[in-house]
Amino acid sequence: MKVFDNFNQLKKWKIGKAEKWLVDHAKSVGIDIDGFEHEITNHFKNHVLKKHGDPKKEMMRGQIAVVEDDFGKISDVVKRPDHAMIGAKRDGKDVLYYVKKMEDGTTLYVEEVLNGAENKSLRSKTMLKREKDVNESKLKNIVSMNNKTDLSKAKIISPGTGSNPGCKTENPPTAANPIQPTGQLSTL
């Protein structure tokens, strides 16, 4: 009799629906994510801590180690990024990239668009942190450095939130006044 290994069983946590600005911009590049939710998984968390959680290794890469508390910040990263890249493809799948500068570094978070019959979600793929700010040009360089990501239809959006100095939000988001960034679109 084979013993069931719960450690490898996929566990998912929903962290919120895709914001209207994200749905609208995704639609402009041919990706329909209306009604999709952001989700993180235990496999993602294990991957990130294994690949980007060692302080010594990350320092050698010019990055900051991801710690447990960083997973709780993902919701803010996807709702109010400084920049988001939409329309990129990796291994034939749509991938979304988000960048947000925070007090403890700049977070780069990546999601895969799952559009199957039973699972329509924006699933966590990877995450890392950098000491330095990541502007639009640097984001493009980071994403394209592996030569595995197709950026031919990708666009970078700067929704006007977070610490992006080029975009200002006159009415910052609150519970009574949620964020509805119109965004600035730049073609790569």
* Tokens 């009574």, located at residue: 176
Phi, psi of 56 (to 5 degrees): -65, -45
pTM of the full structure: 0.80
Q: Indicate whether 157 pLDDT > 70.
A: yes
Q: What is the pLDDT of residues 52-66, one digit of tens each?
A: 999 999 999 989 999
Question: For the ranges 28-37, 97-106, 156-165, 168-177, which has the lowest average pLDDT?
Answer: 168-177
Q: What is the pLDDT of residues 87-135, one digit of tens each?
A: 999 988 999 999 999 999 999 999 999 998 888 999 999 999 999 899 9
Instruction: Give dist(CA 161, CA 169) in Å, integer.
Output: 6
* Cβ–Cβ < 8 Å for 70, 129: yes
Q: What is the per-residue pLDDT for 179?
A: 32
| Sequence-ordered alpha helix ranges (H) in the chain | 20-28, 42-52, 55-60, 68-71, 74-79, 136-144
Residues contacting residue 64 through CB under 8 Å, at least 6 positions apart = 55, 58, 104, 105, 129, 130, 131
Nearest of 102, 107, 89 to residue 149 by alpha carbon: 89
